[in-house]
């Protein structure tokens, strides 16, 4: 792999691709249980990867692994670490003196009225931003004072706020990385972690374009339907009308038959 690919995020953060094992070919190879190269065309490989994705055959995607170096505010890292399907190693405040680097947003956001855990719209308040700046300076000053008094690093760090930047390595297989991106690219995810998800998505899209296209088609921009939702659709559509709509969007052959069976069942599809 060439030199590390780094994408700046927020005011002082970044996502850096450290290493990658496997690519689209590794997914295809695992699915075919074959070690031969060049035995299939890119078009056939794309069709196979698309099939694996839409049928949720996930293990071939686990053959691809990405390792990232991430610099993010602590509150973003704590959300990130809720995804427990990765190997992670974070800088330790027990061994190192933490740097005076804080995430300083251009503006605060207002508390969302309908969603208790979300925000909405900008809160243009210079006094609020000044308060944040004052608190973080005082907190870091107290941290350094405690260290100078001989307080252990593992205890002195208790005074530091959540907008302090931390760094960590994150290693995850592609299947679980897609799950992370599905959740963290969603509009309801916190804005700050969405910026990191977008940076990772940019890297993944470049490195495994066939897998990304299938992910975007079936998971990122797709949706699951419940039994009730399917019943409602069947009451509004006929197989003939649905087939015509799908055909107009370029779906044909076995994919068209499969899409019809998904809504109407094997007995009802044309």
Catalytic residue list: 184
Residue bearing tokens 């509150």? 75
Single out the residue of 57, 59, 69 nearest to residue 20, CA to CA.
69
Tell me, what DSSP letter sits at residue 4? P
CA–CA distance, 116 with 253 (Å, rounded to integer): 46
Q: How many CA atoms lie within 13 A of 24 on its CB side?
A: 24
What b-and-e string marks burial along 72-100, b requiring 16 or more CB atoms within 10 Å of the CB?
A: bbbbbbebbeebeebebeeeebeeeebee
């Amino acid at each position: 792999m060439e030199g590390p690919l780094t994408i700046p995020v927020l005011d002082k953060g970044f996502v850096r691709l450290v290493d990658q094992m496997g690519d689209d070919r590794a997914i295809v190879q695992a699915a075919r249980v074959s070690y031969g190269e060049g035995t299939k065309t890119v078009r056939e490989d794309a069709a196979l990867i698309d099939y694996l994705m839409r049928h949720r055959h996930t293990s071939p995607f686990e053959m691809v692994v990405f390792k990232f170096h991430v610099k993010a505010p602590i509150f973003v890292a704590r959300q990130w670490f809720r995804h427990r399907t990765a190997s992670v190693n974070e800088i330790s405040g027990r061994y190192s003196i933490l740097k005076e680097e804080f995430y300083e947003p251009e503006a605060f956001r207002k508390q969302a009225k309908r969603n208790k855990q979300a925000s909405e719209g900008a809160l243009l308040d210079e006094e609020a931003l000044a308060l944040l700046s004052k608190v973080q300076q005082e907190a870091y000053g107290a941290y350094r004072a405690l260290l100078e008094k001989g307080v252990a690093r593992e205890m002195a760090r208790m005074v530091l706020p959540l907008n302090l930047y931390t760094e960590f390595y994150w290693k995850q297989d592609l299947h679980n990385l897609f799950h992370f991106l599905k959740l963290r690219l969603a509009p309801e995810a916190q804005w700050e972690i969405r910026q990191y998800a977008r940076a990772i998505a940019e890297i993944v899209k470049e490195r495994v374009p066939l897998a990304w296209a299938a992910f975007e088609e079936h998971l990122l921009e797709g949706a699951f339907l419940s039994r009730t939702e399917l019943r409602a659709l069947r009451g509004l559509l006929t197989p003939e009308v649905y087939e015509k709509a799908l055909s107009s969007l370029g779906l044909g052959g076995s994919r068209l038959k499969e899409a019809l069976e998904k809504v109407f069942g094997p007995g009802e599809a044309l």
